[in-house]
Amino acid sequence: MTRRLILWLTGAATAFWLIAAGLGASVMHDEFGEIFDGSLQETAERLVPLIVDDLDRRQGQAYPQRDGTDDAGEEYLVYQVRNDAGDVLFRSHDAPAEHFEVPLKRGFFTNDAYRFFTAPAPGDKIFVQVADALENRSEALVEGSLALFLPVLLLIPVSVLLIWRIVRKTLAPVDDLRQAIEEKDGGNMAPVPSTTLPRELRPIARSVNRLLSRLQSAFDAEREFTANSAHELRTPIAGALAQTQMLIAELDGPGKRRAQQIEVSLISLRHTTEKLLQLARAEAGIGGGTQSVDLARVLELVVTDFKRAVTRPERLRLHREAGASLKGNYSEDAFAIVLRNLIENAVLHGRGEEPVDIHLQQGGVVRIVNGATLLSADEMATIRQRFGRGSTVAPGSGLGLSIAERLLQQMNVGFEVLSPATGRGDGFEVVLRFTEAAA
């Protein structure tokens, strides 16, 4: 919009200047014509009495003719003095020897080279014809027109710069409003600042803020419903699992085996329910955040929690590079869900005898590496799909990577899956790049 506005304003201003210069040149042509004609007529009429008086004093003596070889300088006006028979009595040194091809009567006449004025003496016996070369008039008109048009050529680039600065400064609030609206997503619902906007843009900002407020209320209601649903689903499943475990302790024989199968099914149901609830929360857009938080602390807490839950806590190794930090406007809850899914996948699907290394590096980079067989490109594409599972016998729902990727998209965090892992011939690696933290 800025570019189009600058081009249109510059084009319109240039067109107006050219039209004005053209009109000025046209008026100048007419005025120059009147000035030159007036000078021509006045010169002829002033010469008449002088020439008549000179002729009377000579009393019929021949007037000395000039041959045009004297160095008197170039004449702007030339003249001839002719009798009623048309003979040239005398002339100015730049005038042609042959008489002018104009009639011997008072008035203006024009041919291809000159503009003439003929002034007769009393008695119409002597005629003074003064001529002005048309090229002199053309030269004056061209120079005057250049004086009008040349400044336009200088004003065009200056006007482009001035128009660009004025338009950019005038439209800066519009650009600020556009950027503020562009930053809004499911996680960033902060109001658009409107106090610094021009009066014309404030209604737009107020409308956007009202819409953001309604969206925030809808997201809060959805998140609250999801949290309540999670609680309501976990409680009966946990109760059924506890009753089944008590039943297993009381039974023997085939009944106990069937109860154990029910226990396995309930554990799988609890795990799947947990993943579906996480997926619902991810779809609700909990990934964004409006306050700066320290995600390195969340990383340490999640790793510590996993060490307490797994049978071999020594497998989990956290490596924090000196000076590495992870701060930014993120959701701690969303980041914790991402870490739990990624670390859980590494523990379940990695080689049991190899460690799971979690690296926090400078520049906001988190790497999770585990030992695993080399995956093909098709298998890599499969595991990133929802409910996609590779060639593994470990329990799972195939939702972990999908949930993590969805939340990371909302957090504007780079997500990369590698096999083999960096610096290895096999293994599996997940790389998270927090650009906001890196900045």
**Which residue in the block uniquely carries the two structure tokens 């475990």?**
245
Distance CA 253, CA 238 (A): 25
pLDDT of the residue at 301 = 92
**C-alpha 44: how far from chain center:** 69
Distance CA 264, CA 46 (A): 129
pLDDT of the residue at 68 = 45
**In DSSP terms, which residues pair with 117 in a beta bridge?**
108, 130
Amino acid at 336: A
pLDDT of the residue at 69 = 47
pLDDT of the residue at 360 = 92
**Which residue in the block uniquely carries the two structure tokens 């000035």?**
35
Is residue 120 within 8 Å of residue 127, measured between CB atoms?
Answer: yes
Burial class of residue 177, CB neighbours in 10 A (0-12, 13-18, 19+): buried
Is residue 397 within 8 Å of residue 277, measured between CB atoms?
Answer: no
pLDDT of the residue at 369 = 93
pLDDT of the residue at 326 = 87
Q: Which residues contact 277 (CB under 8 A, 6 or more apart)?
A: 226, 229, 230, 233
pLDDT one digit per residue (tens) for the chain, 439 residues: 677 777 788 788 788 878 888 888 888 888 888 888 888 888 888 888 888 888 777 665 555 555 444 444 567 788 888 888 888 888 887 888 888 888 888 889 888 888 888 888 888 888 988 888 888 888 888 888 888 777 777 777 888 788 888 877 877 777 777 777 777 765 567 787 777 777 877 888 888 888 888 877 877 777 677 667 766 777 788 888 888 888 888 888 788 888 888 888 888 888 777 777 777 777 666 777 767 888 899 999 999 998 888 888 888 999 999 888 888 888 888 889 889 989 988 888 888 888 999 999 998 899 999 988 888 888 777 777 776 666 665 666 667 788 888 888 888 888 888 888 888 888 899 999 987 544 4
**Helix (H), strand (E), coil (C) string for the chain:** CHHHHHHHHHHHHHHHHHHHHHHHHHHHHHHHHHHHHHHHHHHHHHHHHHHHHHHHHHCCCCCCCCCCCCCCCCCCEEEEEEECCCCEEEECCCCCCCCCCCCCCCEEEECCCEEEEEEECCCCCEEEEEEEEHHHHHHHHHHHHHHHHHHHHHHHHHHHHHHHHHHHHHHHHHHHHHHHHHCCCCCCCCCCCCCCCCCCCHHHHHHHHHHHHHHHHHHHHHHHHHHHHHHHHHHHHHHHHHHHHHHHHHCCCHHHHHHHHHHHHHHHHHHHHHHHHHHHHHHCCCCEEEEEEEHHHHHHHHHHHHHHHCCCHHHEEEEECCCCCCEEEECHHHHHHHHHHHHHHHHHHCCCCCCEEEEEECCCEEEEEECCCCCCHHHHHHHCCCCCCCCCCCCCCCCHHHHHHHHHHHCCCEEEEECCCCCCCCCEEEEEECHHHHC
Is residue 395 within 8 Å of residue 270, measured between CB atoms?
Answer: no
In this prediction the pTM is 0.49
Per the structure block, which two tokens stand in for 340? 């739990």
Dihedral over Cα of 335, 337, 343, 345: its sign: negative
**Which residue in the block uniquely carries the two structure tokens 């016996």?**
125
